[in-house]
Structure 1
Amino acid sequence: MYLVIIITLAVIAPLVTTVVQGVTTDWDAGLVVIAGQQWVFWGVGIRLFTAGLSQALRPQFTMKKILRIDAPGATQLVGELGYANIGMGAAGILSYFFPDWAPAAALAGGLFLLLAGIRHIAKPNKNAKEWIALATDLLIAVIVLVYVGWVLVTGAA
């Protein structure tokens, strides 16, 4: 189930909504802006928000199934990571309704996912859930950070 949710939120939903928005608007905003905004909503917004809820409400799953940590004292740290994810995710979700927020949400979420993905690379003996997290963290990070760069260079939003 974890795999289906992550792949849907990180790849399928943003890809489908990018194509739908692009086709229905004749790609007026351009591919980078449309894709960037969709990945901010789905990859940063929905994905980080739902991950944050999971981490805040059931930190043991993240600790044991993803990070393979067996230390009861780490539940507070994982819960607080969840709160940070909820905050970044909320900004990404709200960027759908307030498009001017999208670059800022993309920068915060993209840097977080990039650094988390890089950290996952360095970890030895990764399990399947860690590989999925690593790949999707880096995919989302690259897409939304390219979008941020595009907005900075072109002024598009």
Structure 2
Amino acid sequence: MYYAIVAALMLVFPLASILVDVSIHQVQPGWFLVGKWFVFWAVGVRLFVAGLRQMLQPRYTAEQILGIRGDDVLLVVRELGFANASIGIVGILSIVATGWVVAAALAGGIFYGLAGINHALQGHRNRLENVAMASDLFAAVVLLGYCIWVATR
């Protein structure tokens, strides 16, 4: 289930949303739509859903994704959930507050980049952490690429 959710929120839904937007509004595909839809799905929905899970079920993230056992880590994972949900809410609201797209892309891109690097530095990654690492680094490239496009146009 984790793999399907990550694939849907990080690739399938953003690309489908871009295609729908292009076909309905007759706009050219490009970085503007990439920013709009990757911020909504990858930053907004994914981080919000991850945050909820980390707040309500911190043991799943600690044990299944990070491979850490014990109750001591649960407080930290729950606090990570607060941060993820907060960034996620900004990403979700960016669909109506379009002025927030760049800020959400920058915050999300930095977060995903640092998280992906952190996963990469772990020598004992399991399969779920490998997926988290790859999807985090992919999201960072897309989101920070969008920010660079905005800054240079």
Alignment check: 8 A CA contact 1:37 1:96 kept: yes
Q: Normalized against structure 2, the TM-score is what?
A: 0.96
Q: Give 1:35 deviation, angstroms.
A: 1.1
Gaps of 5+ in 1: none
Q: Amino acid of the residue matched to residue 40 of structure 1?
A: V
Percent of paired sites with the same residue: 41
Match runs of 1:1-157 below 5 Å:
1-28=1-28, 30-154=29-153
Which residue identity does 1:105 align to in structure 2?
Answer: A
For residue 72 of structure 1, give the secondary structure of its aligned residue in structure 2. Answer: coil
CA distance in 2, matches of 1:142, 1:24: 27
State the one-letter code of the partner of 1:54: R
So what's the TM-score if we normalise by structure 1?
A: 0.94
Aligned residue pairs, count: 153
Which structure carries more relative contact order (alpha carbon 8 Å, separation 6+)? 1
Query: CA shift at 1:86, angstroms?
Result: 0.4
Gaps of 5+ in 2: none
